[in-house]
Amino acid sequence: MDDHSKRPIPAPTGGERPTLKTIAYMTGLGITTVSRALKDAPDIGAETKERVRLVARQLGYQPNRAGVRLRTGKTNVIALVLSIEQELMGFTSQMVQGISEVLGGTQYHLVVTPHSFEKDPMVPVRYILDTGSADGVIISRMEPDDQRVRLMTERNLPFVTHGRTDMGIAHPFHDFDNEAYVYQAVERLVKRGRRRIALLAPLSRFSYQIHSRIGFERGLVDFQATEVSMGRMTTETPLEEIRAYAERLSRLPEPPDAIISLSGSASIALVAGTEAAGRRLGKEIDIVSKQSAEFLNWIRPEMLTVTEDVRHAGQELAKAVLARIDGVAPELLQSIDAPVWSPMGPKD
């Protein structure tokens, strides 16, 4: 207690939040030494480090984020850029949860930045770039030629995408294998005797629209089925329009005997439309759907579903940005989840 008085005397502490200064005072060391001890620098004695760490733990010391950020530019923030047009059924909560599980073990905070994708997808990215408000970014709704990816790559901002691009830039991503999903869907449908299949795909601007189309067309050829057009319907068409279209389709002389959907909520409308036309799931028609939460099977057990594990996606995305921030090569931070089919009632 008294041998501290010989030292340069920083200042005794109040009941406030402890800082490096507090620890320096308690240990009788310099602020610099404490700082370096806590980051395990090589020029600090082993015994000193131990002592500093002990006192720090004792005081419940937590580095002041503003101090670190001001000095180093490191924000300890991961930004999740969400489109407000995104599917509602549990997508966001699961994504946030997955990311948080990974971030929970770190100093990183998660800042959520929703915005209208339709209006201008670049806005949030430019904001983050201009203000340096995040160390890493997670984006979704990828396009084959994506300006956000181009800009962040150019400006060296670590990021990861939920979905792939196709522009010759290697970047971290996590994706669901929509091609395999649709291909396997066709296969299963044909095995169940279906031949005339419709595909409710995403908007054509998105990468996964292309993937699902490729899977679909490969499937049609490999398993000998034919396509029934969904017209201008996409997964983002208002549900009522989808319902109406599905009903019209069902009343055609030669209606589809199966529909493959890439959106859980759109599938609800498909079911409503086909049933309104008197066609029964599992009998006259099969509907296959991807979903982000297990709810379709509760509604219609006859439905064939694949549940995209969005929580797992969130985990992978978070791990990838963190690794990217740590300098891991983009090529090593790419993963694709295979579709997992829900066990089905009837047969199969």
Cα-based distances in Å from 140 to 121, 203, 310: 10, 14, 12
- Backbone angles phi and psi of 174, in degrees to 5: -130, 140
Binding pattern for the stretch 72-91 against DNA, x by CB under 7 A and - elsewhere: x-------------------
Q: Is 32 in the site for DNA (CB under 7 A)?
A: yes
Binding pattern for the stretch 257-276 against a second copy, x by CB under 8 A and - elsewhere: --------x--xx--x----
Q: Which is nearer to DNA, 65 or 213 (CB)?
A: 65
31-38 vs 46-59: helix crossing angle, rounded to 10: 90
Footprint on residues 155-214 left by DNA (CB under 7 A): none
Among residues 318, 332, 334, which one has the least CA distance to residue 134?
318
Binding pattern for the stretch 2-41 against a second copy, x by CB under 8 A and - elsewhere: ---------------x------------------------
- CB 67 → DNA: shortest distance, Å? 3
What is the number of other CB atoms lying within 10 angstroms of the CB of residue 255? 19
Interface segment toward a second copy; rule CB under 8 A; list 125-133, 146-154, 159-167, 254-262: 125-133
As beta bridge partners, residue 96 has none
Q: Report how far Cα 9 is from the mean position of its chain's Cα atoms.
A: 50
Count the alpha carbons within 13 Å of 40 in the hemisphere toward its beta carbon: 0
Answer for which of 26, 29, 77, 134 binds DNA (CB under 7 A) is: 29
Contacts with 138 (C-beta within 8 Å, 6 or more apart), sequence order = 78, 79, 80, 81, 99, 159, 160, 161, 162, 317, 318, 321
Q: Is 60 in the site for DNA (CB under 7 A)?
A: no
Q: Is 66 in the site for DNA (CB under 7 A)?
A: yes
Q: Is 30 in the site for DNA (CB under 7 A)?
A: yes
Answer for which of 9, 41, 54, 70 binds a second copy (CB under 8 A) is: 70
Answer for which of 1, 2, 15, 131 binds a second copy (CB under 8 A) is: 131
Q: Which is nearer to a second copy, 191 or 248 (CB)?
A: 248
Q: Is 63 in the site for DNA (CB under 7 A)?
A: yes
Q: Is 33 in the site for DNA (CB under 7 A)?
A: yes
Residue with tokens 């009632």: 345
What is the biggest distance separating any 2 CA atoms in the chain, rounded to whole angstroms?
Answer: 98
How far is 108 from 102, CA to CA, in rounded Å?
9
Burial (CB < 10 A; 0-12, 13-18, 19+), residue 24, is buried
Rule CB under 7 A: which residues touch DNA? 7-8, 16-17, 19-21, 28-33, 35-39, 43-48, 63-64, 66-68, 70-72
Q: Binding residues for a second copy, per CB under 8 A? A: 17, 60, 62, 64-67, 69-70, 75, 82, 84, 86, 88-94, 96-97, 100, 109-114, 130-133, 239, 265, 268-269, 272, 293, 295, 298-299
